[in-house]
Structure 1
Amino acid sequence: MKKRIISASIIAAALGLSVPAMALDVTPYGAIRVGTWWTSSTYYNGQNALHDADFTLDLQGDSLVGMRVKEGDFSGIAEMGAYNPKNRAGGVELRMLFGEWDFGGGKVRVGYAPSPYVFRSEQTYDSDGGFNGYGSLWDGRYAQIKASLNNGLYLTLKKQSTSNTGGTSNFTTNTGPAWQNTPFNLTATQYAATNTNYDTYLPQTTVGYEGKAGILKYGGGMAFNFYKVTQTTSDVVTSKDEIYSYLGFAHGTVDLAPVELKFNLYTGQNVGNLMANSGAATGSYYFNRHNAYTYGGWAQVGYTLNNKIKMFTGASYESNDTKESKVDDRMAAFANLQYAVSKNFKIVPEFTYLNDLRSRTGAKEPQIYAAGVKWEMTF
């Protein structure tokens, strides 16, 4: 035990001496968030409805600690997050880990970070959900290489979409590709007479632009993904599919202080196959050899009352259609007040409404009323 303590002390001392020599600028940061929510939910089985009411108090999954490091033209971020309350067994989450080189005319990023088309509202329900799956393009974080120029143009090469549903193929079900093994070998290496094989050729590619003109900050771009799926049953190829996915997106913020307007719009094909959005509608996936077409977005109004109080309200909508079934659509709305108790302590009372409207079969889907408070401390 003493040897371990001595060894740890030596390592800590060495690091302490080396940091000044390397001229590193290290800045730690963090945010601890707890949500208290009262929810009223309605679920349907045909015309039969089940009503459920719950109170919950839990740590939000976007609670985090991290640090920024800078040395000359190079910088980096390492960020860890709390367990997801819906998946405690998953443990602590790696949120971001990347390095960035500022080469003068722009930057090159290598590492793990959110997708470049992410643009979220101020909705806080469901761990700062921000209309996730209801008009927001949030789809998690991925290994990526991103090159951005100072004029606003950028190119991102990113790991292709993964699915949390696992195992089944796209042309017969509504699930995304189930990459099972290592990042460099996406299907099983052992021969199987009955098998679903995914063949990938390119990274998910996004080309975009971020700019500013007076009171308007704006951005937009295109994302693309492509892969093949082959199903074999008893050594006989029973089906082959080529799945092309694309996404066009635009977003912006208009500063009319004390009023702020924000919007997010998008459209695409097989969007569920492009991104691993756990909240995505089933109708957004390639299905029964039919492409799924999606459009959606959200709009939000904010008002700054004073240096203590900000208020926000917004609404969203998404529509998905495979042309062989009914439209799978959904909508959401929220209103909240953000009160800064002190510099590092904020509380956010909010009311949220989520409605999955109708599925692609025409069946009624769940709706949720939620009222609660987010409690947030930052450093």
Structure 2
Amino acid sequence: MIEDMLRTPDAVRDAERYTAHNYHPLPVVISSAEGAWLTDVDGRRYLDCLAGYSALNFGHRHPKLIDAAHAQLDKLTLTSRAFIHDQFADFCRELAELCGKDLVLPMNTGAEAVETGIKVARKWGYQVKGVTPGQANIVVAEGNFHGRTTTIVSFSTDEDARADFGPYTPGFTIVPYGDLAALADAIDENTVAVLLEPIQGEQGVVVPPEDYLPGVRRVCTERNVLFIADEIQSGLGRTGATFACEHEGVVPDMYLLGKALGGGIVPVSAVAANADVLGVLKPGQHGSTFGGNPLACAVATEVVRLLATGEFQRRSAELGARLHAGLQSLIGKGLVAVRGRGLWAGLDIDPALMSGREACERLAERGVLAKDTHGSTIRLAPPLVITEEEIDHAVAQLAAVLAG
């Protein structure tokens, strides 16, 4: 078993002893990384096929991002939003331009971006749409994952994420993902927004029907409801486009961004929308001590500039086609289904063969790191700097694991 590989298990034991068990990590202790590769404390190398749940889209320690961080560390790291610093305007302007929106509101974590989006949608509903005070509701999808705050888990359908954290926040209506008719039926006069992941990541990289997102956009427009796209995992190049919504030619009213926006160096998130939406916020109504700090802005601006070239979106599309072709060849050979887009894949393993956890343990033994979800499903999301040879290597190791 994988435990037998470890010559230095003390770090694993100490992690188990001194930390709350809110994660169940593989017993691999990483000490350094570069590009698509990780190295553990014993010098063993692993191909990273998770990329920090898409937080590391540009790989580990991308030179331009590291240089931006180092340069900013020598100058200024925090002022709070009580003042304006010299990195702030460039970041907000360039991200707004990338998104095609008027305004950006910087925060830190993805969950903060989601909470911000919820607050803005409610305030927009009361001030602009004229919703009855205190009655705003937001339509969300089954199988969603938007974070783990008490408000967000209130509309989760994952009992591991939700159970025993009540009382729950009201104001959300849950409908089946991909069911446009159910979504339309759930909208009433007090609905202020529809909040969706264009592709459901935690659920197993579930891609909705081709006509779903365009239908959501149409219904939201017809019913005067905001369409909020949670692109925290799916955005910023992961699927072969800047945003996953682009594949269907859809533009939401609000983007929620995070993970890769911080370049794998600092937590950075943001809400992007036009002035008629984000403009409802006035001074003192929302904020963050660290949101939009100089270090975060310096790194995130460089992230936006990397994306502006289109290089990483093209790599994701081209290399993603190679990845999915390799994975499709394993259907019937241990895999029962493959889903995804770009360099993002959800794989359903024959449950009679092994669980997703067992598959990830065996992959780790072979030097490939991935993450299981929901029983026999595993997710692959390698950094966008991965090469063709490395993709072929990952697929070959998976094939070997499935063959036993």
TM-score tier, shorter chain, comes to under 0.3
- Greater RCO (CA < 8 Å, at least 6 residues apart): 2
Q: Which has the higher helix share?
A: 2
Larger radius of gyration: 1
User: Structure 2 length as normaliser, TM-score?
Assistant: 0.26
TM value normalised by structure 1: 0.27
Greater percentage in strand? 1
